[in-house]
Amino acid sequence: MKTIKGKVALHPLFFLLTFTAFVTGHFLFFISVLLIIIIHELGHVAVARLFEWKIEKVELWLFGATMVSDDFFFRPWHEKVLVTIAGPLQHLWIGMLIPHLGLGGAWEETLLFYNTWLAVFNLLPIWPLDGGKLMWILLSSLLSFWTSFRTVLLGTGVVMVLFLICFPFFFTIALFFVFLGKEIYEQWKHQYYLHVRFLFYCLKRETAKEKWMDIPPDTKVKEGLKKLRLGRGMVFKSGSEVIREKECIRSYFDHPTLRFLDLHNR
C-alpha cells in the first residue's frame, strides 16, 4: 500500500486500474465511479468523526475502498451500526442526483446501474463489506467475541463460494473475490492479535450486566477467555470457586498455560 499523508492508502493494483481506464478511453467514467466510491467512504468517515473514532486510514482497493478503524470493534453497538450504514445511505441521494446532472444516454444509465450495484453488493454478508460488518455486529450480540469474528470470516468464505457457483461467468466478481480472499486470509491469521486487544479492552471496561458460566476446573484459562462477550462481563464458576473475567485475563497474561484449577490456589 502507498499511503498519502498517513490517511489514504492506495493498493498497487489501483494504479493499474487507473492506467487501464486511461488507455482504453474510459477515464472519465472511471473517475465518476471512483467519486461514488469516495462519497460512500466519506459517509463512514463523517459519522465516525462525529463519534470521535480514531480513523487510521482509508484504503482504496482494486474494486472499492474501506475505512480502517480499530474503534469499530470496541464501541457501543449503535455507533457501529450508524457508522456502517452511513456509507450505503449515500447511494440514495446519489441515485436521485444523477438524473438531474444532464448526462443523458448510456452514461447516465450506466452510472445509475453502478451506483445501485455498489450499494446492493456492499450489503452482502461478506467481511469486510458493510453487510459483513452488520452481520458481525448482530453475531457479536449473540455469541462471544472470539466465536462471532471467526463465524463471520468462515461465513464470508461460504458466501463467496456459493456466489461463484451460481454466477461462474462474472469474471470481475471472481477477480474481486480472489483479492478479497487474500484479505480474509490475513484477517484469519491476525485473529489472535485482535482477541488480545479485546482482552485489554475487557480489563478497562465496566459492565453492569454479568453472565455466569460453569466451567470445569481442568479447562485452560485461554479457552475460558474465548467465551467473553461484548457488552457483558463474565463470571466463571469453577468447582466451588468464583472467578471474574479480569482476574482470568491478568492470570492468562502472566502465565498463558494456566488452568482454572491453578487459579483456585492463587
Classify burial at 254, counting beta carbons within 10 Å of its beta carbon; exposed 0-12, middle 13-18, buried 19 or more.
Answer: exposed
Using CA atoms, how far apart are residues 96 and 111, in angstroms rounded to an integer? 12
Q: Is the dihedral of CA 106, 108, 111, 117 positive or negative?
A: negative
Question: What is the signed CA dihedral for 126, 130, 131, 137, rounded to 10 degrees?
Answer: 100
Other CB atoms within 10 A of residue 139 CB: 18
The pLDDT of residue 1 = 44
The pLDDT of residue 26 = 65
Q: Among all chains, which residue has been given the C-alpha cell 453488493?
A: 121
The pLDDT of residue 168 = 64
The set of residues, in sequence order, having a beta carbon less than 8 Å from that of 257 and lying 6+ positions away, is: 220
Listed by start position, the domains of the chain span: 1-122, 123-189, 205-263
For every one of its 266 residues, what pLDDT tens digit does the chain have, with 9 covering 90 and above?
Answer: 444 345 777 666 666 666 676 676 666 777 778 888 889 999 999 999 999 998 888 887 766 778 888 889 999 899 999 999 999 999 999 988 888 877 777 778 888 888 898 899 889 888 888 999 999 999 998 999 999 999 999 999 888 888 777 776 666 677 777 777 888 888 888 899 999 999 999 998 887 688 888 988 888 989 999 999 998 888 888 888 888 889 899 989 988 888 888 776 65
The pLDDT of residue 3 = 40
Specify the pTM: 0.85
DSSP β-bridge partners for residue 234: 211
